[in-house]
Homo-oligomer: A and B are copies of this chain.
Amino acid sequence: MKLGFIGLGIMGKPMAKNLLKAGHELVVYDIVKENMDILVEAGARAASSSKEVAQQCGIIITMLPNSPHVKEVVCGENGILEGAKEGTIIIDMSSIAPSASQEIYTICKEKGVKLIDAPVSGGEPKAIDGTLSIMVGGDKEVFDKVYDILMAMGSSAVYCGATGAGNTTKLANQIIVALNIAAVSEAFMLATKAGVDPKIVFDAIKGGLAGSTVMNAKVPMILDRNFKPGFKIDLHIKDLNNALDTAHKVGSPLPLTAQVMEMMQTLHADGFGQCDHCGLVKFYEKLTGDEVVSK
């Protein structure tokens, strides 16, 4: 069956390429023509709108920045629902608010279109390698039906529950990542100010209970002053915003996430929004006037 793919950004491009590599026939659409050209070169066919993608494909993947974009592409003018036949499946792999997934799911359902939310984690490197972690919410039958398609892009696809559960899981992930980055930032700044070489602290503690993927992946970047993303602070702000909104809706306060949000906003205002999220350490560097650097 022909697959549609809408949204060919930094993540979307390698994901779509992996679908081509897996032998899928692909119809793509993006508002930026250059992005489509790259995929056409790789063997995809370009459409002129989301509607046209829907007219040609029974399963459509969307990979867009945030809730309003997904809503627009699915429900807006020239959007998927204008072109989709009954029974069409939309796999929304964007990281958006669970409530937005639920809202769009309901609109789709009225038109006989099925939507699952399937956000990913792992960033561009894992998108390229096809080893993304995919978290899925929606109807279990739909998940089962598209499992192989998902596994062409990821190394795992976990069914998390009803619509929105994929995005809720992603938000839980993003909260933990943000706080774990804040944790190493706060701790390594203390060590630096107390005169202990952070490289030695890293060696001494990474193997114990303080160890984490953030410790292994991000502390070396911090010590090398390498803030090339990876995952940008501005994107993490978007996710924390969705997390806070969701938390307020379901009645689950996020006192620490709210603090880290203000730290990231401080850095965004300072022009660091395009840094990797481990650039959060700069908030502490701003507070103390010293850098966390191995001597």
Taking Cβ atoms with an 8 Å cutoff, the residues of A that contact B are 98, 121-123, 133, 135, 137, 156, 158-162, 164-165, 168-169, 171-180, 182-184, 186-197, 200-201, 203-205, 207-215, 217, 237, 243, 246-248, 250-263, 265-266, 268-270, 284, 286-289
Contacts and interface: CB of A to CB of B under 8 A. Distances in A.
Contacts of A214: 209, 212
A256 B182 CA distance: 8
A287 B288 contact: no
Residues of A contacting B: mostly? helix
A169 B193 contact: no
Given A168-B190, A253-B284, A255-B259, 16 more contacts: A160-B196, A160-B201, A161-B196, A164-B194, A168-B196, A169-B204, A172-B187, A175-B186, A175-B190, A190-B246, A208-B213, A212-B212, A212-B214, A212-B215, A252-B288, A258-B261
A133 B288 contact: no
B246 A194 contact: yes
Given A177-B210, A180-B183, A200 B158 contact: yes
Nearest to A188: B172
Contact of A251 (B159, B184, B197, B268): B268
Nearest to A121: B208
The 7 closest A-B pairs by CB, nearest first: A251-B269, A212-B212, A179-B183, A193-B252, A172-B187, A158-B204, A176-B210
B252 A208 contact: no
21 contacts: A158-B200, A158-B203, A162-B195, A168-B190, A172-B201, A172-B210, A176-B210, A177-B209, A179-B179, A180-B212, A190-B246, A190-B254, A193-B251, A209-B213, A247-B265, A251-B268, A252-B269, A253-B288, A254-B262, A258-B259, A266-B287
A207 B148 CA distance: 20
A195 B161 contact: yes
Contacts of A251: 193, 265-266, 268-270, 288
A5 B120 CA distance: 50
Contacts of A98: 194
Contact of A180 (B173, B180, B250, B253): B180
Nearest to A157: B204
A191 B169 contact: yes
